[in-house]
Structure 1
Amino acid sequence: MSTAQSVIGSDTIAGRPASVAHVFLSRVEATPNAEAYRYPAPVDDHAADGAPGAEQWRTLSWKQTAERVFDIAAGLLDLGIQAEERVALASSTRIEWILADMGAMCAGAAVTTVYPSTNADETGYILADSGSRLLFAENGKQMDKALEERAKLPDLATVVVFDLPGEPPAVEGLTVISLAELEQRGAALRKGDPEVVRRAVEAITPQQLATLVYTSGTTGRPKGVRLSHDTWSYQAVAQADSGLLRSDDVQYMWLPLAHVFGKSLISGQVHTGHVMAVDGRVDRIIHNLPAIRPTTMASVPRIFEKVYNGIAGRARAEGGAKYKIFMWAAKTARQYAHAVQDSRVATGRESAPLGLRLQHALADKLVYAKIRAAFGGRLRGSVSGSAALAPEIAYFFAGVGVPILEGYGLTETSAGITVNHEEDFRVGTVGVPLPGSEVRIAEDGEILLRGPGVMIGYHNLPEQTAEVLEADGWFHTGDIGELAQGGYLRITDRKKDMFKTSGGKYVAPSEIEGKFKAVCPFVSNILVIGNGRNFCTALITLDETVIMPWAAEHGMKGRGYAEVVTSAEVHTLIEGFVKRLNGDVQRWQTLKKFTILPRDLDIEHGELTPSLKIKRPVVERAYADAVTEMYAGANEA
């Protein structure tokens, strides 16, 4: 076992339910008529002008949710699905995802999550490797991926489609039905045997397989992470005990539920019983926020970066006094948040100098109140995970009154294992352990985690499991970090992402990337390169919604995105921000050269994971010529 520098954490939560299915039954019995979910649905098929029809938010009470969940569970039992048999789920975030997932869990099955963006080849691999017997497919597009790989899927017997227009296709050896038909079968079974689902739930044991989540591998095939019912039950109780979720919350859920971050929050919501508004369409976020008026929302750093860049871009476009006011207000927000946090850490009380408080109050009336209103006006905090958030962006939102509570976890730990809390959050850290979890730092700086949320192991990969999971339960994350004052965890970098220059200096690329995002409002993605080189360089992409208005104001109106971002004018613009960055880092961390790519990175090209993290090896391979050119002729001896 690795020697540790320090360990923080608390004892395991005692007395938690055997599974989230048990939690769900208790929730329905406790508050049957309370609102459980909101989801968008069309008012009619088309508006009068032939455009897509308007939408309205519909609701489900816990009792109404249970009726559909139990019918789905009974339908699966009627199809012969047995305990721990895999049921795959390929869909975007929508109410049916939650109903299908909870139905499968109540039936005792194990859900294999599949991102809707996953291509046919990888979808086929996941379904085959997991041995999935049934697939919930959102629509014909998701179903076709499985059909394309049909020859590789001997275990797959049934496809249940959420949106199935017309008659299902006839496929030899495969039954294709709609979700409505599955529910009808389940309702018929329950009519003859009202206790069939309850018996299935009562048979579930804590260590029984509940979910298989496949990691987004940057090289090779993804690994299936085996998560037990106990992990989700733990997440449910720990999130409530930590104050992360409250019974009176209204939570906005848009995250991909195939990712453990979103999935874990479903467990917490069932335990607390608060309202969850569900809509996974990212392009609807800014429209949904004022309608939902959430009190809490989980997100990933890229969303906050885009929001910040959008606000700064609009202020710059307005120019004159408005832009000066915004820049002053942004600076004041950061200074105020810094001062309040420093005071809280030093004295346990929140305070700031009188002059700064007065400036902050004025900036609140002029700027901050409008930003909070755009988030719905009630957001008490937004949990951020999956990747690091630039501290200066975090300080900005904290000063505005929309605190971003960074947390930390992995697929292998069923999402969050540390998190910041509203009453004492520390920008630049990922908080303290959830109740029942432990964190330790090994001698080489690697973060080790232990607790009920840690996986059983990798599916069919005992050797790879043994490499990261010790016999006494400590999981090796591959991340580098340190424990700050008060037991707050700070992530330094990914162990595998850190590199050494040819001059022998270690570089943490995420640190440089975060600093650049803080100074450059035009950046979308940045990848710092320098392993074995004599100096660092970067591949940079720009946010189209921010750079294009700037381009129009600077004589490039009518040009396309690729022409704009590769222009000399834009190179000069970004060069100025690179110089600002270089003035704030160590000499060996400075960017000597950079290349602006002609398009942004995306999931479709395999450059980003579904949670919007950069797949570094993929990007470096795709733009190898650009990297070679940046180092061409350089003396790297």
Structure 2
Amino acid sequence: MSSIPSLLRDRIAATPDAEAYRTPSHDGWTSLSWREVGERVRRLALGLAEIGAGPGTRVAILSSTRLEWILADLAVLSTGAATTTIYPSNTAAESAFIVTDSGSTIVIAEDDDQVAKLRSVQKELPDVTRVVVIDGTPSDDGWVVPLGSLDGGGSEGGEGGDGGDGGDYDAMVDAIAQDDLATLIYTSGTTGRPKGVELTHDNWLYAGAAVRELDLISGDDLHFLWLPLSHSFGKLLQVVMIDIGVPTAVDGRLDRIAENLGALRPTFMAAAPRIFEKIHNTVAATVQREGGAKLRIFGWARRTGLRVVRARQRGVAVPLTTRVEYALADRLVFAKLRERFGGRIRFFISGSAPLSRDIAEFFDAAGLTILEGYGLTETSAGSFLNRPETVKFGTVGPPLPGTRVRIADDGEVLVGGRGVMRGYHGLPEETAAALEDGWLHTGDIGELDPEGRLSITDRKKELIKTSGGKYVAPTYLEGRIKAACPYVSHVFVHGDRRNYCTALVTLDMDVVRPWAEAEGLPAEAEALREHPRMREEVAKAVDQVNAGEAGYATVKKFAILSEDFTVESGELTPSLKIRRKVVEERHGAVLDAFYDGA
């Protein structure tokens, strides 16, 4: 095979009637077979070709995660064009930059709100000939057309040459080469201007084949996909499921994740660490609020589970008495937690940002092992992944088959292999710097253990160097504090060129509010943040983390902010990483006050 569309065609030929996707409907969930997916992709591809999509062109998708995103992407690729991804949370100005910088001439938008965003910057989009709206209203001037008008194009003959336009479709697919551009993904970036990462069909084909070689999943699994398909992690999962033939339930609504897990009963799901932190904190806060016997049993079960997990991590035998206690803890506590997620989860996968060891250990104790992985947009999202049988918390596992790694003299992680990007779009100097000596310079600091598993300690550019010359990894401390206090949403550790470290803390009001109301405390963040009880809860977590750190790496002071960091405020990237410079600039007065007189 030479392309993602040819991979899809092979999948249809191998398992035409097997379930491919499951999508929400008014009375539950509706399934599509691989054959039905192929028919819809073929018709949509022919419709897109009629309005100008083809080799050398780019089509942008501005939508949340849904079945139509996947169908549109596969159709765009089938024409020989490349897909440019845009987060639905991007502003009009950000969207205009991506569309113009990528040279996209067609935009597929989710709804009227996204179309309105494009309309507001239409003068900046002179090369956009058509906007295709998934759920929305066509325009009188012909600039906006409904997706259905394209999806109905072509004949109703079977896919892949069964009649009608099948020959035209096959000819388009056959003309695509492995090295052709498939995807332009703009790095959201914690600093600086976004760069368009050019990923070829071969980049994605490698990633799919590498995961298949691990033999982790099969057609008997059910994958639940909610991650943004605008992000490389979501796109990787899309390709992997086609390669292996795994049915995928697709629903990008974050507020439905817990409900969908219970209803769908998937066997695995990928997520960013923030989702696992949220689940952990909700559970911990609930039992704390209930108190009494439930809190004592939960605490005992957790301690028992952690003894088992840590013994397994050290490779030592678990004593018989501990095994008996753990079986009871599982029946009383952990089995109920697994049932909330449908009762069939074999493992979770975590990527996009560092996962706290404390969170990983808690989930493993509950029989919900999280396999942490690592990769960049520049490496097609997947480069390293823990394996279920050899998972090592605190590491992102060994490299995927075919990925090369070495550690530079300054500790930077360098990656090579077929998954590495072609380059940054229109930025030859940045491309040359990133791909120096044939290795991708990741910008991350890490080390390899004797078994070849990689540990990421921090971003090269984000390490804090105190005025005393000591280096501190802020994301490590941030993750530990979040895990130690269920009421915390985000933590921002500061201290570069300062004489000690401090922190900004935001509250997870979904978790805090029930606790505050039960305790007779103010239920609003502004009133709660300076309340002695609230500060006491956060201080306990900070002190707990500080107890295990060297003096220079401890947090000496903290402030609780009245508002959480969000994507909309610009303090988080769309993949939920903290934009450190934005936070420092926005809260500079608070940070400076920590050091007054110091």
Partner of 1:414: 380
Partner of 1:199: 171
Q: Shift of the alpha carbon at 1:188?
A: 8.1
Deviations, residues 228-265 of structure 1 (Å, cap 9, x unaligned): 00011111111111124322110000000000001001
SS state of the match for residue 485, structure 1? coil
Q: Would the aligned equivalents of 2:398 and 2:453 in 1 still touch at CA under 8 Å?
A: yes
Q: Shift of the alpha carbon at 1:170?
A: 3.2
Q: Quick one: distance in 2 between partners of 1:244 and 1:298?
A: 13
Partner of 1:542: 507
SS state of the match for residue 193, structure 2? coil
Structure-to-structure mapping, 1:455-534, within 5 angstroms: 455-472=421-438, 474-534=439-499
Q: Among 164, 178, 187, which residue is 2:146 paired with? A: 178
SS state of the match for residue 233, structure 1? helix
Partner of 2:343: 377
TM-score by length of 1: 0.91
Structure 2's unaligned 5+ residue stretches are none
Q: Which amino acid aligns with 2:554?
A: T
Structure-to-structure mapping, 1:34-113, within 5 angstroms: 34-43=18-27, 56-113=28-85
Q: Shift of the alpha carbon at 1:538?
A: 0.2
Deviations, residues 345-394 of structure 1 (Å, cap 9, x unaligned): x7xxxx41212211111100000001111111111111100111110110
Q: Shift of the alpha carbon at 1:115?
A: 0.3
Q: Shift of the alpha carbon at 1:19?
A: 1.4
Deviates more, 1:587-596 or 1:512-521: 512-521
Partner of 1:8: none
Is 1:233 the counterpart of 2:205? The answer is yes
Q: Among 371, 374, 380, which residue is 1:405 paired with? A: 371
SS state of the match for residue 135, structure 2? coil
Identity of aligned residues (%): 49
Deviations, residues 573-608 of structure 1 (Å, cap 9, x unaligned): 212222222211110011111010101110000111
Deviations, residues 65-121 of structure 1 (Å, cap 9, x unaligned): 111110111111112322131000010000000100011111111000000000000
Q: Shift of the alpha carbon at 1:192?
A: 4.6
Partner of 1:9: none
Q: Which amino acid aligns with 1:519?
A: A
SS state of the match for residue 205, structure 2? helix
What is the root-mean-square deviation in Å for CA atoms of aligned residues?
A: 1.4
Deviations, residues 309-359 of structure 1 (Å, cap 9, x unaligned): 01111111111111011111112222211111221xx7xxxx412122111
Is 1:303 the counterpart of 2:275? The answer is yes
Q: Would the aligned equivalents of 1:231 and 1:453 in 2 still touch at CA under 8 Å?
A: yes
Q: Which amino acid aligns with 2:390?
A: D
Partner of 2:253: 281
Q: Which amino acid aligns with 2:39?
A: E
Q: Would the aligned equivalents of 1:295 and 1:379 in 2 still touch at CA under 8 Å?
A: yes
Is 1:315 the counterpart of 2:283? The answer is no
Q: Would the aligned equivalents of 1:71 and 1:184 in 2 still touch at CA under 8 Å?
A: yes
Structure 1's unaligned 5+ residue stretches are 1-16, 44-55
Q: Shift of the alpha carbon at 1:471?
A: 4.4
Q: Would the aligned equivalents of 2:305 and 2:366 in 1 still touch at CA under 8 Å?
A: yes
Partner of 1:4: none
Q: Among 606, 621, 625, which residue is 2:570 paired with? A: 606
Q: Would the aligned equivalents of 2:447 and 2:454 in 1 still touch at CA under 8 Å?
A: yes
Q: Among 65, 68, 86, which residue is 1:114 paired with? A: 86
Q: Would the aligned equivalents of 2:272 and 2:351 in 1 still touch at CA under 8 Å?
A: yes
Q: Would the aligned equivalents of 2:349 and 2:370 in 1 still touch at CA under 8 Å?
A: yes
Deviations, residues 9-39 of structure 1 (Å, cap 9, x unaligned): xxxxxxxx31111110001111111111100
TM-score by length of 2: 0.97
Q: Would the aligned equivalents of 1:73 and 1:186 in 2 still touch at CA under 8 Å?
A: no
Partner of 1:564: 528
Deviations, residues 179-198 of structure 1 (Å, cap 9, x unaligned): 11011234489975321111
Q: Quick one: distance in 1 between partners of 2:270 and 2:473?
A: 26
Residue-pair matches, total: 594
Deviates more, 1:81-90 or 1:513-522: 513-522
Q: Which amino acid aligns with 2:581?
A: P
Q: Quick one: distance in 2 between partners of 1:467 and 1:244?
A: 35
Q: Among 109, 124, 128, which residue is 2:100 paired with? A: 128
Partner of 2:324: 358
Q: Quick one: distance in 1 between partners of 2:333 and 2:327?
A: 10
Q: Which amino acid aligns with 1:130?
A: S
Q: Quick one: distance in 1 between partners of 2:450 and 2:343?
A: 33
SS state of the match for residue 432, structure 1? coil
Higher relative contact order (CA 8 A, sep 6+): 1
Is 1:161 the counterpart of 2:126? The answer is no
